[in-house]
Amino acid sequence: MSLFPDSFKLKNIFQGSTVIWIVYFLLCIISLVEVYSASSQLTYGTDGFMSPLFKQAAFLCVGFLFCSLIQNVPCRYFKLVGIFGIPLCIILLVAVLAIGKVNDGARWIPLLFGFRFQPSELAKGVVVTAVAFILASLQKPNGVDRRTVKYVMCVTLPICGLIVTENLSTAAILFLTVFLMMFIGRVPWRQLMKVIVGLMVAGILLILLAFALPDGNFLEEKILHRMDTWKGRITHVQQDTVVIDSLTGKPFNIPQAKTAANGAEMKGSDQRNFGYMAIASSNIVGRGPGNSITRDYLQQAYCDFIYAIILEEMGIFGGLAVAALYVFLLFQTGRIASRCERNFPAFLAMGLVLLMAIQACINMFVAVGLFPITGQTLPMISRGGTATIVNSIYFGMILSISRGARKNKLEEAGDMMRPGLQGPK
């Protein structure tokens, strides 16, 4: 006789794809190790050097709770998220433009007890869910309804438009995810090319405006006040140089470089240089967990540039192992989507995993210098509250879909074993 009731058995707690669960827990473990190692700047002058670790562990625990609960929700109920979530996200994104001001970017809504909420993280998942519902509802035997792109753009463009004023890279990631979902959803190439042309025209006009308008213009001050940041990321102006002490391996004599240790803001070129130094000093095998040098100089080492710290401490093989986790997540979710009997769960699973995989790729590309600095975090690894919880919710939704796909597979196998349904002997 079992000591615990069936409801407390591990197999009833950890349902769905085992591979997805393994990837989720490995990302959480890496997050705890690297956030603790990379958060030295947050504890300067204080005795709470364990505080970043405890706070990240708390967010991961909350995220795990949401993940465990949502995996038990039948996938059909996720359709309500897209239907009712879009108006809520529009309200929250408008509110964050009015009352949210953090680091010169209105990205957070302040809550009680010092907590903050980032509506753009929630909006990404809601848009993906709504687009999955639209694509699934308008499927036909020979493709999709011609009105599909119009409906998808009516959902996507207002959300991206509200996000882009404060976070261009997040809006771009969301739009790219939606585009790939339309491709998976059998939208004709002619319509997809119209979307691409429209996006290119809008991008060219935005770049021309950024460089043609004089400083201090109305558009820059009232609407696109991060235009200077965008121009700097496009031009990649390298004004500062990192000088390395050959004895200690530490940087010194850095012109105009400001770190978070003295409360000032570091320039993008400084961040990139320190990221290069972190990677170059890894010596392939890495310095070992907790032995990073550049974490004390690299601003946002625990967030935007955490992959550089991973490479410094864990070496090239450790960095490749982290990248492989996202690859496994992508391919396993693709397998789950291929087993789904209905279109909505398949489109939703692929949209959610693409959202995380694209963001992970951009974060890693920024760290190694293959992409302009964007401020994107590494999903489930970088320090964060809203992002950690929301990404855990994404995992829970994928696990719920995998439960349904596994159930369908088992039922199909059972039907094949029934008398009269077996093949010839």
Q: Is residue 237 part of a domain?
A: yes
pLDDT value at residue 411: 56
Q: What is the token pair recorded at 290? A: 């907790």
- What are the Cα distances from residue 214, in Å, to 209, 211, 220, 222, 226? 9, 8, 9, 14, 14
What are the start-end ranges of the H helices in 74-141?
79-99, 119-137
| Coil, strand or helix at 109 | strand
DSSP labels, 168-226 = HHHHHHHHHHHHHHHHHTT--HHHHHHHHHHHHHHHHHHHHHHHHSPTT-HIIIII-TT
What would the pLDDT profile of 294-322 be if each residue is shown by its tens digit?
A: 777 777 778 888 898 898 888 889 999 99
CB 302 within 8 A of CB 383: yes
Q: Is residue 131 part of a domain?
A: yes
Q: Which residue segment(s) compose the domain that 47 sits in?
A: 15-408
pLDDT value at residue 232: 61
CA angle, corner 174, sides to 237 and 191, nearest 5? 110
What would the pLDDT profile of 83-118 be if each residue is shown by its tens digit?
A: 899 999 999 998 888 776 655 455 777 776 667 788
Q: Is residue 421 part of a domain?
A: no
Rounded Cα gap, residues 251 and 269, in angstroms: 14
Q: Please list, in sequence order, all residues whose beta carbon lies within 8 angstroms of the beta carbon of residue 263, skipping any fewer than 6 positions away.
A: none
Q: Give 268's strand partners.
A: none
Q: What is the token pair recorded at 297? A: 């100089």
Rounded Cα gap, residues 38 and 52, in angstroms: 9
Rounded Cα gap, residues 213 and 111, in angstroms: 37
Q: Is residue 83 part of a domain?
A: yes
CB 127 within 8 A of CB 92: no
Q: Is residue 47 part of a domain?
A: yes
Is residue 220 pLDDT above 70, yes or no? no
What would the pLDDT profile of 314-354 be if each residue is shown by its tens digit?
A: 888 999 999 999 999 999 999 999 999 899 999 999 999 99
Average pLDDT estimate for 35-62: 78
What would the pLDDT profile of 391-411 be if each residue is shown by its tens digit?
A: 999 999 999 999 887 666 655
Q: Give the chain's domain count.
A: 1
What would the pLDDT profile of 15-41 be if each residue is shown by its tens digit?
A: 888 999 999 999 999 999 988 888 766
Q: What is the token pair recorded at 10? A: 């591990």
C-alpha dihedral sign at 388, 349, 401, 33: negative
Q: Please list, in sequence order, all residues whose beta carbon lies within 8 angstroms of the beta carbon of residue 316, skipping any fewer than 6 positions away.
A: 282, 284, 286
Site of tokens 């030295």: 40
**Residue 239 pLDDT level (bands cut at 50, 70, 90):** very low
Q: Give 116's strand partners.
A: 110
Is residue 364 pLDDT above 50, yes or no? yes
pLDDT value at residue 269: 56
CB 349 within 8 A of CB 211: no
Round the average pLDDT of the chain to a whole number and report it. 79
**Residue 371 pLDDT level (bands cut at 50, 70, 90):** confident
Rounded Cα gap, residues 128 and 329, in angstroms: 17
Is residue 358 pLDDT above 90, yes or no? yes
At position 106, the amino acid (one-letter code) is A
Q: Is residue 10 part of a domain?
A: no
pTM of the model: 0.83
Lowest average pLDDT, out of 39-48, 49-58, 398-407, goes to 39-48
Q: Is residue 414 part of a domain?
A: no
Rounded Cα gap, residues 274 and 17, in angstroms: 39
Is residue 242 pLDDT above 50, yes or no? no
Q: Is residue 252 part of a domain?
A: yes
**Residue 228 pLDDT level (bands cut at 50, 70, 90):** low
Rounded Cα gap, residues 78 and 344, in angstroms: 9
pLDDT value at residue 86: 94
